[in-house]
Structure 1
Amino acid sequence: MKDVTQLHEGWSLRHEDALLPARVPGCVHTDLLAAQAIPDPFIGHNESEIAWVGRQAWSYVTELHHDSEHERTDLVFEGLDTAAEVRLADQSLGTTRNMHRVHRFDVTGRTGPLEVRFASAYDEADRVRALTAERPNAYPEPFQYIRKMACSFGWDWGPTVVTAGMWRPVRLEHWSTARLAEVRPLVSVDGSTGRVELRVRTERTANGAGRRLTLRAAVAGAEAEVAFEGDDAVLRLDVAEPALWWPRGYGQQPLYDLDMTLLDERGDRLDARTHRIGFRTVEIDRSADAHGTGFTFVVNGVRIFVRGANWIPDDVLPSRVTPERYRKRLAQAVEANIDLIRVWGGGLYEDDAFYDVCDELGLMVWQDFLFACAAYPEEQPLRGEVEAEARDNVVRLMPHASLVLWNGNNENLWGFRDWDWEQPLAGNSWGEGYYLGLLPRIVAELDPTRPYTAGSPWSGSWDHHPNDPRHGTHHSWEVWNRQDYAEYRADVPRFCAEFGWQAPPALATLRRALPGELLAPDSPGMLHHQKAVDGNVKLNRGIECHFGLPEGDFDRWHYLAQVVQARAVAAGVEHWRASWPVCAGTVVWQLNDCWPVSSWAAVDGDGRLKPLHHELRRVYADRLLTLVPTGDGPVLALDNQSGSDWRTTIVLRRLNAEGTVLHEASLELAAAPRTVTRRAVPGPLLPGEGSSSEFLVADADGLRAVHFPVADKDFDYPVPEYDVRLDAVAGADVVDIVITARTLVRDLLLQADRLGPDAVADRGLVTLLPGEETRITVRGWTDPDMRAARDALFNVGGV
């Protein structure tokens, strides 16, 4: 049987003619940080001070000893970042130039000093650029010339921290006769029968050539075996009536162990592998209809309105992201009622632990191939690397039931059409051959059980503009970049795969990242941790449009920026959900951050929840009550994405600013499963057009929607008055803050991190009418204090 030895101990990093202890998996930055040789790039302006690290060559060294009775020993690197030469006993084993591949070297019978020499990623990119010629991109960094995590080179939410090192595990594999080199389980459902077509390729030693090999497999009580023909075998297993894997909210997520064993002619075990699989079907309905061209996920025959979020690498130093951190962050996605995670194309094919958690939690995964916001050369040496990388990762990830879509790229088809690329390209390749040729062929060959789309956004063909909202997937960035969030309601995209609004991170996150700084929207550290072009200008424009800019009051600016972010995303989701089934999904940009920064994230770089996270929980819930503004007044929408009927009584009230009910009515409405019911608001309940003193409230089953006919800055809010009390929970680190309103209190928010850096609240923005009470549960507040509670409460009408 194959033996495996992990090689994580005993490594050193050469630095200034000295050897520093090195941790594997890891990278140069993590080792320099551990040795206190560089400052933390996340703090202050340190990112700029450590830029030299990414422009230097580095070496890792250890002593390789192994003694095995097996015929073959392989040195396996699961991830080398990025341009490297591997040397053993001062002889070259080979070179690498791709962060996203596994590299394997035969070291049978060889020992001695082992060195991995990493070139600067900039030097490698410059070398390739000289071979392929210049290509345009969206950022002034050369990320399209090297198969490396693009956002290492900075993005409009990320720092420039260009890494190098052994970022995934290193091991020795000792084996004889043959090993399992490639395992591809094609999982499908035919009626009530689950089918697994297992395609396996072996690698043999010289002694194993021509010997009889057998593959034995079992799953869910079904067993079979097959003899190899040459190096390949195909084995089929039928499972009677397997329980189906469903996205969260649609059913359970049963997973089955698929056990595989490679046997020699004597029946001795040579190698074994286990994958967890789930039985389900998935397709994308891209049918043409009266509205254009659809893009609807269909899982197990059920049409789904996707409630998604985009995922970026959770740390710009990705070796620091542990399985526990994946689970925490993805659990936060589930808490926000997210059912799909799009793994964005400027990042990574994440670790298997990421997809394992998605399998368990029912989070569908949309996986981009790693191309983003640039024209990519299709010549060598990149083309061969792209194909090998795609093959490696399709095979690695295809066992996961959560994986529902392969996507060719992020924004490059759109970029070619709209970002003035054609003239500077002058006919040179730019990636189209990957997205419309190479990648769909690889997916069709290796993983035909899943759909593929050429890009996001993409209208399905060049017959339509790549970002036409009427066809396929759409990215909505005119809003935020140039327009107010009310413009989300100007159209109904078939599937909105990116949209979002910025806000600063939690105050405790800012204080940790900017120690000692007098915080202001334009203070030096705030501007350094704002990477978007004109980011603060756009933030301020959004605040000004609705509230007016607070002068000299950072705390209020910070609060209002977070309110606008939550309201903006809610405006888009509410409008597009109410337009189901024409619109079949929203994927908000973005779930997470890779460092402390003002960004579009719902969870900030220290893992703290912004108000947006709580708002996503509301607007992504199975049942959503909304008042959607239209040109003819607000429309009541009962959105039922649950699997059961929703019949309810909706209480509608027109009130004045003082909370007096001017008109009230009840409506009996029903929405069948996975449907939306829309109803015009009766005339007597409509606030006067342009009224600064009237508003509308709809309540049903504990859900609330509000409609104000004017911007907050034009509404005559009363001076907010409310009572606060603290209710401690005996024997627990929990305190309930109970707020009772004596006036209208709009978008009340408790910023829990002001109570303590580890304090967490269970609620976000809430609007209270006079006499109403809300209870906010706080965990991790070690020293409850009434005054501190009041100081941590904000609302749009005042503090």
Structure 2
Amino acid sequence: MRETLHGGWRLRAVGGPVPAFLVGRQVPAVVPGSTHLDLMAADLIPDPYLDRNEAALTWMHRVDWQYATVFQAQAPRLDERVELVFDGIDTIATVELNGDVLGHTANMHRGYRFDVSESLRDGANDLTVTLSSALAHAEQMEAQLGWRQRAYPHPYNAIRKMACSFGWDWGPDLQTAGIWKPVRLERWDTARLAQVRPLVTVDAGGTGRVDVHLELDRATDRDYTAVVAVGDREERVAVTGDIAHVTVLVPDARLWWPVGYGEQPLYELTITLLADGEPVDVARRRVGFRTVTVDTEPDETGAPFTFVVNGKRVFAKGANWIPDDHFLTRITPERLQRRIDQAVDANMNMLRVWGGGIYETDDFYDACDERGVMVWQDFPFACAFYAEEEPLRGEVEAEARENITRLVARPSLVLWNGNNENLPAYTDWGWQESLQGRSWGLGYYTELLPKLVDELDPTRPYAPGSPYSPGDLPPNDAHYGTRHEWDVWNALDYSHYRDHIPRFCAEFGFQGPPTWATLTRSIHDQPLTPTSPAFLLHQKADDGNGKLHRGLQPHLPVPDDFEQWHWATQLNQARAVAFGIEHFRSWSPRTAGALVWQLNDCWPVTSWSAVDSDERPKPLYYAIKHAFAPRLLTVQPRQGRPTLVAINDHDQPWTGTVRATRQTFDGDPLATAELPLSVPPRSTALLDLADDLLKPADPKSEVLIATASGADVHHLFAEDRDLGYDPAPFVATVTPAAGGYRIDVQATSYVRDLALLADKIAPDAVVDDMLVSLAAGQSHCFFVRTTASLHSPSTLVRLDVLRCANMAAAPR
């Protein structure tokens, strides 16, 4: 029997720099939840996501807290086992029941079970969870184990807690505390399924195989039988000890495929434990049959990093994933589904769960399983050196064992990865000398974690880190393994993405502010400028605004007006990332993956995200959607001249004709050509462009446009700031439509990157597309979805709402 214990909790501050307004005070607490959320609900602290409130709440870093509740129960019967189970506590806790100390916790990434057979009593039971300051504990562990270098000030590498809880270059420094996952009382007088580990494979002949490894926790000795059913197939085995192995074969299993490669059939897996023929426990999973490997065999260029699913090579199109809200318990299954749907709608097939966050919840993997989104899963190590001694080592092994076992059956999970950027931190960042012989985590990444994956989950590959190159090579070598590309953004113009042809680019990105509605909801500076106090607090990157300015300057004028600066920097972010994606895809199959940093945000901030923390897509989102389109035309340099590259990410060949025209901004054709197009499935093809298409008479007022069966590319001959755009190149009309509004745009001159910033008019408004370029005479229809009934629909075509690059190049 399982009974959740989520009611009646109270919270109080019990130690540290407790402010006067909290001394002796209790407030209602929500479990699962966190201290910040409870104090906000009691109107005792402001929302830390707004204005400069984050900085006003740093006192919470060193406060100790106590959660307490009273629950009714019966004392254990003879031969009955009773355990108190916490699926997750954040982070340093002492758990007491009726005054008895049950135990201590020191790891946010794992669960804990406490035997309460001697403490539980009939009637009312007092349960308390006392949380010590995570920062104080981390500092204590650092003093005990020795100082180790990290990317940010707090010693997040000395505690097993979400690293970005201590602040990151896109995240707040709030250092949450709380009971962040369910808590319950479990009791049984026979046995329970203590562990269920299904290994799912596919035999060469197409038979699906589910090898279920079971562990029992017995209260009494009985005749136990495990019954395992997969769909309509069933097998059973007598359990004579505490472990058992049951194999179920599914002939002609339907294969699970990444989105865009096939369907995602899922089979129900049910494990029933019988005692003397009667069911006493049951566990359920959903499984999908597929094989996955990563091809790393050396070739003439170096060594690839190519995912192979069901024998088919897959180009990974995707993004890095961070926790979708810094307050994790606010993330609902529905929110995760919306976010994964946004990824799929942007033509992504992979998300990398980054190592500075968490092992995601089951709801996240459910959504990915159902939608065919491959998951690259980092172990939680990021941008730091980590001690390999106790007590940290034992916690690392415990959390890895628990989470490998929890996620082993997930068809979406295609890679375990040892860490984020800790290998180049050792070899390339100048940190090595600071170690003075101390351990730094290498043993985790090359010994402990691969050993555990091999033991518990031999069905999928493991990589020691990201970036990673084999042997003695620098981890970020472009010719081998995986690469992170951060010279662009940190130091170089985005055109320098073309300096390298990585085998797999696992991180690259460029910053931009959140959408206007999100920005103005969360920041209220008067006046609002790039250097106003609250705006700067929501810009966490080192010299972030300086990099935005320097990244913008070669391409577009840097506006003085904040609203125009907001649009220009969002546009430049979109341009930069799309430039990188198109370069990487153009080199497929040599390059086999491009994962943008990052899909999402955890609070309102200027960051690298495509979707901001209020769930609104930024212009970058639409640029990614276009650049990851299954069929793409792009102009890339090859052998010293611009070349048309056609990319076909379909299982069918792409055939037809490419029509190419060099024309004036006014629409007058100057040179035309028709090129035969024949691109095999999952391939690229290079098409030569004649000199008359590539040599403009007036580079400032001409454009090359190539189109083929719905795909097009617009190639300009100078940067926007040097082009002779018409600053008012279109006319537009608005018509009410079911669910929103239709906006029809007619180009009177060349229009580049037309965007409709509908959230400026209605906070819930979302446009179906953005960054659309039009030749003179062409038209486009946008649809804005909103529940708002606009008094004046014409506001949707105001110059600050319906914008294009022409306006950014010639700011008003």
- What is the rounded CA distance, in whole Å, between the counterparts of 1:157 and 1:53 in structure 2? 20
One of 393, 396, 413 as aligned partner of 2:423: 413
The residue identity in structure 1 corresponding to 2:155 is P
Return 689-698 or 648-657, whichever deviates more: 689-698
One of 338, 345, 357 as aligned partner of 1:347: 357
Q: Give secondary structure in 1 for the equivalent of 2:517.
A: helix
Task: Report the alpha carbon displacement of residue 325 of structure 1 after superposing the two structures with TM.
Answer: 0.9
Q: Residues 54 and 164 of structure 1 are in contact (CA less than 8 Å); yes or no, is this contact kept in structure 2?
A: no
One of 151, 166, 185 as aligned partner of 1:138: 151
Give the aligned partner of residue 535 of structure 2.
526
Q: Residues 665 and 725 of structure 2 are in contact (CA less than 8 Å); yes or no, is this contact kept in structure 1?
A: yes
One of 41, 44, 53 as aligned partner of 2:48: 41
Matched, 1:427 2:437: yes
Give the aligned partner of residue 470 of structure 1.
479
One of 648, 657, 667 as aligned partner of 2:665: 657
Q: Which stretches in structure 2 are left out of the alignment for 5+ residues?
A: 14-22
One of 520, 527, 545 as aligned partner of 1:536: 545
Q: Deviations over 1:576-596 (max 9, x none)?
A: 111111000000000000000
1:298-377 → structure 2 map (5 Å cutoff):
298-377=308-387
Matched, 1:244 2:244: no
Task: Report the alpha carbon displacement of residue 680 of structure 1 after superposing the two structures with TM.
Answer: 2.1
Q: Give secondary structure in 2 for the equivalent of 1:126.
A: helix
Give the aligned partner of residue 492 of structure 2.
483
Give the aligned partner of residue 24 of structure 2.
17
Q: Residues 295 and 495 of structure 1 are in contact (CA less than 8 Å); yes or no, is this contact kept in structure 2?
A: yes
After superposing on structure 2, the runs of 4+ consecutive aligned residues of structure 1 that deviate more than 6 Å are none
Give the aligned partner of residue 80 of structure 2.
71
State the TM-score, normalized to the length of structure 2.
Answer: 0.96
Task: Report the alpha carbon displacement of residue 554 of structure 1 after superposing the two structures with TM.
Answer: 1.3
Q: Residues 734 and 796 of structure 2 are in contact (CA less than 8 Å); yes or no, is this contact kept in structure 1?
A: no
The residue identity in structure 1 corresponding to 2:705 is V
Q: Residues 695 and 707 of structure 1 are in contact (CA less than 8 Å); yes or no, is this contact kept in structure 2?
A: yes
Task: Report the alpha carbon displacement of residue 768 of structure 1 after superposing the two structures with TM.
Answer: 1.2
- What is the rounded CA distance, in whole Å, between the counterparts of 1:324 and 1:719 in structure 2? 42
Q: Residues 634 and 707 of structure 1 are in contact (CA less than 8 Å); yes or no, is this contact kept in structure 2?
A: no
- What is the rounded CA distance, in whole Å, between the counterparts of 2:232 and 2:752 in structure 1? 58
Q: Residues 600 and 609 of structure 2 are in contact (CA less than 8 Å); yes or no, is this contact kept in structure 1?
A: yes
Provide closer, same or farther for how the CA distance between residues 175 and 534 of structure 1 changes in structure 2, counting only shifts above 3 A: same
- What is the rounded CA distance, in whole Å, between the counterparts of 1:692 and 1:742 in structure 2? 17
Matched, 1:7 2:5: yes
Task: Report the alpha carbon displacement of residue 631 of structure 1 after superposing the two structures with TM.
Answer: 6.4
The residue identity in structure 2 corresponding to 1:290 is E
Matched, 1:121 2:130: no
- What is the rounded CA distance, in whole Å, between the counterparts of 2:484 and 2:740 in structure 1? 41
One of 242, 267, 272 as aligned partner of 1:256: 267
One of 485, 494, 512 as aligned partner of 2:521: 512
- What is the rounded CA distance, in whole Å, between the counterparts of 1:785 and 1:261 in structure 2? 59
Give the aligned partner of residue 656 of structure 2.
648
1:220-235 → structure 2 map (5 Å cutoff):
220-235=231-246
- What is the rounded CA distance, in whole Å, between the counterparts of 2:456 and 2:261 in structure 1? 28
State the TM-score, normalized to the length of structure 1.
Answer: 0.97
The residue identity in structure 2 corresponding to 1:669 is L
Q: Which stretches in structure 1 are left out of the alignment for 5+ residues?
A: none
Task: Report the alpha carbon displacement of residue 52 of structure 1 after superposing the two structures with TM.
Answer: 1.2
Matched, 1:773 2:779: yes
The residue identity in structure 1 corresponding to 2:474 is H
The residue identity in structure 2 corresponding to 1:559 is W
- What is the rounded CA distance, in whole Å, between the counterparts of 1:133 and 1:494 in structure 2? 37
Give the aligned partner of residue 162 of structure 1.
175
Q: Give secondary structure in 2 for the equivalent of 1:538.
A: helix
Return 309-318 or 510-519, whichever deviates more: 510-519
Q: Residues 492 and 583 of structure 1 are in contact (CA less than 8 Å); yes or no, is this contact kept in structure 2?
A: yes
Q: Residues 202 and 291 of structure 2 are in contact (CA less than 8 Å); yes or no, is this contact kept in structure 1?
A: yes
- What is the rounded CA distance, in whole Å, between the counterparts of 1:435 and 1:493 in structure 2? 22
Q: Residues 689 and 709 of structure 1 are in contact (CA less than 8 Å); yes or no, is this contact kept in structure 2?
A: no
Q: Deviations over 1:555-589 (max 9, x none)?
A: 21111111111111111111111111100000000
- Identity among equivalent positions (%) equals 49
One of 584, 590, 603 as aligned partner of 1:582: 590
Q: Deviations over 1:448-477 (max 9, x none)?
A: 00100000000022x210000100000000
Q: Give secondary structure in 2 for the equivalent of 1:227.
A: strand
One of 142, 149, 161 as aligned partner of 1:148: 161
One of 196, 204, 213 as aligned partner of 2:210: 196
Give the aligned partner of residue 740 of structure 2.
734
Q: Deviations over 1:10-30 (max 9, x none)?
A: 110014212210000001011
Task: Report the alpha carbon displacement of residue 415 of structure 1 after superposing the two structures with TM.
Answer: 0.6
Q: Residues 578 and 678 of structure 1 are in contact (CA less than 8 Å); yes or no, is this contact kept in structure 2?
A: no
Provide closer, same or farther for how the CA distance between residues 772 and 778 of structure 1 changes in structure 2, counting only shifts above 3 A: same
1:209-224 → structure 2 map (5 Å cutoff):
211-224=222-235
Q: Deviations over 1:80-109 (max 9, x none)?
A: 000100011111000010001010111136
Q: Give secondary structure in 2 for the equivalent of 1:560.
A: helix
- What is the rounded CA distance, in whole Å, between the counterparts of 2:453 and 2:193 in structure 1? 21
Q: Residues 667 and 777 of structure 2 are in contact (CA less than 8 Å); yes or no, is this contact kept in structure 1?
A: no
- What is the rounded CA distance, in whole Å, between the counterparts of 1:29 and 1:717 in structure 2? 50
- What is the rounded CA distance, in whole Å, between the counterparts of 2:38 and 2:614 in structure 1? 21
The residue identity in structure 2 corresponding to 1:116 is V
Give the aligned partner of residue 391 of structure 1.
401
Matched, 1:284 2:294: yes
- What is the rounded CA distance, in whole Å, between the counterparts of 2:238 and 2:681 in structure 1? 49
Task: Report the alpha carbon displacement of residue 667 of structure 1 after superposing the two structures with TM.
Answer: 0.8
Q: Residues 505 and 597 of structure 1 are in contact (CA less than 8 Å); yes or no, is this contact kept in structure 2?
A: yes
Q: Residues 13 and 22 of structure 1 are in contact (CA less than 8 Å); yes or no, is this contact kept in structure 2?
A: yes
The residue identity in structure 2 corresponding to 1:253 is Q
Q: Give secondary structure in 2 for the equivalent of 1:166.
A: coil
The residue identity in structure 2 corresponding to 1:379 is E
Matched, 1:603 2:616: no
Task: Report the alpha carbon displacement of residue 786 of structure 1 after superposing the two structures with TM.
Answer: 1.3
Q: Give secondary structure in 1 for the equivalent of 2:411.
A: coil
Task: Report the alpha carbon displacement of residue 300 of structure 1 after superposing the two structures with TM.
Answer: 0.3
Q: Give secondary structure in 1 for the equivalent of 2:172.
A: coil
Task: Report the alpha carbon displacement of residue 787 of structure 1 after superposing the two structures with TM.
Answer: 3.9
Give the aligned partner of residue 60 of structure 2.
53
Provide closer, same or farther for how the CA distance between residues 709 and 633 of structure 1 changes in structure 2, counting only shifts above 3 A: farther
Task: Report the alpha carbon displacement of residue 668 of structure 1 after superposing the two structures with TM.
Answer: 1.3
Q: Residues 11 and 60 of structure 1 are in contact (CA less than 8 Å); yes or no, is this contact kept in structure 2?
A: yes
Q: Deviations over 1:215-246 (max 9, x none)?
A: 11111222111122421001111111011000
One of 534, 558, 566 as aligned partner of 1:558: 566
Task: Report the alpha carbon displacement of residue 690 of structure 1 after superposing the two structures with TM.
Answer: 8.8
Q: Deviations over 1:389-426 (max 9, x none)?
A: 00000001111111110000000001101111211101
One of 180, 184, 197 as aligned partner of 1:171: 184
Q: Deviations over 1:258-299 (max 9, x none)?
A: 1101112x2121211011000000000001001101100000
Return 3-12 or 106-115, whichever deviates more: 106-115
Matched, 1:702 2:710: yes
Corresponding pairs, count = 789
Give the aligned partner of residue 17 of structure 2.
none
Task: Report the alpha carbon displacement of residue 689 of structure 1 after superposing the two structures with TM.
Answer: 9.2
Q: Residues 320 and 598 of structure 2 are in contact (CA less than 8 Å); yes or no, is this contact kept in structure 1?
A: yes
Q: Residues 406 and 452 of structure 1 are in contact (CA less than 8 Å); yes or no, is this contact kept in structure 2?
A: yes
Provide closer, same or farther for how the CA distance between residues 377 and 528 of structure 1 changes in structure 2, counting only shifts above 3 A: same
Q: Residues 654 and 696 of structure 1 are in contact (CA less than 8 Å); yes or no, is this contact kept in structure 2?
A: yes
Q: How large is the Cα RMSD of the aligned pairs?
A: 1.3
Q: Residues 498 and 586 of structure 1 are in contact (CA less than 8 Å); yes or no, is this contact kept in structure 2?
A: yes
- What is the rounded CA distance, in whole Å, between the counterparts of 1:657 and 1:7 in structure 2? 67
Q: Deviations over 1:459-504 (max 9, x none)?
A: 022x210000100000000011000111111221000000000000
